[in-house]
Chains A and B, each alone.
Chain A
């Protein structure tokens, strides 16, 4: 199961990398936008790895706390990036 989890996380990491590349080509994200996008995606991927690992080791509470402590800030950062930077104003001409 852990192997499958790492396969999925690896795949998602690749997709995330591509997403970052495409968005940074399309938008003027700047350091803040790019930083929050990368950290946000990392936190989401980390939450997947953490939570699946926690469930597999039999500590579901750690999985749910992981979602609260890692996924939530990740979602906040990604929302912030989307609202603040992924707008027509920042679109590259």
Chain B
């Protein structure tokens, strides 16, 4: 390091040591004191930089919270599963019971329209040909075999069966709660989970009553479910970045389906693992309870404007499954804040990209801001302070598109492939004040990320071969 770290204009005027009339010993001691001072300053600088680095790294993983970062009113009631749109749209009985829902949504019959889903003709536009349809059917294929014919929201499927098969007679005793959690997470990771979190069962997040479309009957937690769940293990799988960037093409369906199949497989394996350890466990997808709040409670991410859980490293490009178990000798994860809520306030890119205008441009609220008519907002979760989106409009677009859409995932600035240079931006996001977030969104657009309805993306997906990004 240079002798003179101060302003060069000043340093140039300083007499050189050879011209000094001070004694040599005195000069040496002054020099060594100065060197010592410099070393101390440098050491303090390195220590400060190290501490700042650790703080930023911790903040990037999220700041643990003692309470859920989703404010919920005390009078919040668990959601009746009959009011879940995908349950309602599958059920003939519910359709007949609620003609007002059809009427209030411009005489749009969800049940009849849903029957047409995936049955439309191939098209000529890129992303909608026989090729993409085949890919999507392949992606979802096992799901209908393994979970059942009524979609992911219907409880008690094949791999998600409530039967406690292969339950060990003796219970394995974990040496500590911490070890129990580590063991479960290691098992889930081995089965293929990209993230796994463990949280207490929270009745507010469970559907109650549950509803089985196959039998068109209400199910009760107390009467029908085989045990009292104490803990929920939340599992995440990744959707392919390139496939997602073709949104809203049928290729996105393929990666959505594929990630769901993986999520179901991992949940089923983890549930069986627990049963083999003597603990009751059931794998579940979107049935039984809301994946989003459970994932947030398990510290895996934060809720975004687009209604998805935004996670570190993947953004909203994940699918979620869960395992309900009676094992409660575990160390629970804490929810974390990642700064998503403040980013979403400025960003709104998903809302701008949503072809059905289902996503709100408004801030978070306790109730939907798009309507207060109970016959229109029958599916909404009231009493939760969040972004309220009109999922009926989303559903309608899916039917028109004859495939899922996912523009709100593809366009989100948090959706990035796992390349290290994006971690720099993650750091920026954490350290930058919230006013800068709007600017960061504009830069994201300028840099060419999050484009949707792009025929070139379809071409790129097929041309890429299977080199995973």
- A: which residues have CB within 8 A of B? 2, 6, 21, 24-25, 27-34, 46, 49-50, 53-54, 56-62, 65-66, 69, 85, 89-90, 92-93
B447: which of A21, A31, A61 is its contact (CB, 8 Å)?
Answer: A61
Query: Once the chains bind, are B420 and A2 in contact (CB under 8 Å)?
Result: yes
Residues in A with CB closer than 8 Å to B424 are 46, 50
User: CA of A60 to CA of B456 in the docked complex: distance in angstroms?
Assistant: 13
User: In the assembled complex, how far is the CB of residue B463 from the closest CB belonging to chain A, in whole angstroms?
Assistant: 10
Which bucket holds chain B's interface residue count? 20 to 34
State in angstroms the CA–CA spacing of A87 and B1 once bound together: 19
| 7 A-B interface contacts by CB (under 8 A) | A28-B4, A30-B6, A33-B8, A34-B2, A53-B419, A59-B449, A69-B443
Collect the chain A residues with CB atoms within 8 Å of residue B420's CB.
2, 6, 49, 53
Are B446 and A53 closer than 8 Å at their CB atoms?
A: no
A65 with B5, Cβ < 8 A, contacts A28-B12, A57-B419, A89-B12 known: no
Q: Is the CB of A58 within 8 A of B8?
A: no
How far apart are the CA atoms of A28 and B11 in the complex, in Å? Answer: 8
Interfacial chain B residues near A27, Cβ < 8 Å: 2, 8
Q: Are B7 and A30 in contact (CB under 8 A)?
A: yes
Distance between Cα atoms of A28 and B6 in the complex (Å):
8
Contacts of B104 in A (CB 8 A): none
Q: Is B448 in contact with chain A by the CB < 8 A criterion?
A: yes
A-contacting residues, B186-228, CB 8 Å:
none
Within 8 Å CB of A53, what residues of B? 419-422
Q: Smallest CB–CB gap between B461 and chain A, Å?
A: 10
**Cβ proximity bits B444-460 to A, threshold 8 Å, 1 near / 0 not:** 00111100000000001
- CB-CB under 8 A for A31 and B6, given A61-B448, A62-B448, A89-B12: yes
Task: Quote the shortest CB–CB distance from A63 to chain B (angstroms).
Answer: 9
Contact of A29 with B2 in the complex, beta carbons under 8 Å: yes
Contact in complex: B2, A25 (CB < 8 Å): yes
Q: How far is A58 from B241 in the complex, measured between Cα atoms in Å?
A: 11
Residues of chain B with a CB closer than 8 A to A24's CB: 1-2
Chain A contacts for B3, CB-based, 8 A: 92
Q: Top 7 A-B pairs ranked by shortest CB distance?
A: A61-B448, A53-B421, A28-B8, A62-B447, A30-B8, A24-B2, A53-B419
Residues of chain A within 8 A (CB-CB) of B460 are: 58
Give A89 to B446 CA distance when docked, in angstroms: 43
Contact partner of B448 among A2, A65, A92, CB < 8 A?
A65
Chain B residues in 8 Å Cβ range of A54: 419, 421, 447
B242 is an interface residue with CB less than 8 A from chain A: yes
**B419–A56 CB distance below 8 A:** yes
Q: Report how far A50 CA is from B419 CA in the complex, Å.
A: 9
Q: Nearest-CB distance from B154 to chain A (Å)?
A: 38
**Given known contacts A54-B421, A65-B447, A31 and B5 CB-to-CB distance under 8 angstroms:** yes
Tell whether, in the assembled complex, residue A85 and residue B8 are in contact, meaning their CB atoms are under 8 Å apart.
Answer: yes
Contact B16 A93 (CB under 8 A): yes
Q: Which residues of B contact A66 (CB under 8 A)?
A: 447
* Closest Cβ–Cβ distance, residue A46 to chain B (whole Å): 7
Could you tell me the distance between the alpha carbons of A89 and B8 in the complex, rounded to whole angstroms? Answer: 9
A30 with B242: in contact, given A54-B421, A59-B448, A66-B447 (CB under 8 Å)? no
Residue of B nearest to A90 (CB): B8
Q: How far is the CA of A41 from the CA of B451 in the complex (A)?
A: 32
**Closest B residue to A33 using CB positions:** B8
Given contacts A28-B2, A49-B420, A61-B447, 5 further A-B contacts (CB under 8 A): A29-B2, A53-B422, A59-B448, A65-B446, A89-B12
CB-contacts of B427-456 with A (<8 A)? 443, 446-449
Q: How far is the CB of B349 from chain A (nearest CB, A)?
A: 16
Residues in A whose Cβ lies below 8 Å from that of B11: 28, 30
Please tell me if the beta carbons of B12 and A49 are within 8 angstroms of each other in the complex.
Answer: no
Tell whether, in the assembled complex, residue B421 and residue A34 are in contact, meaning their CB atoms are under 8 Å apart. no
Q: Which residues of B contact A59 (CB under 8 A)?
A: 447-449
Q: Is B464 an interface residue (CB 8 A)?
A: yes
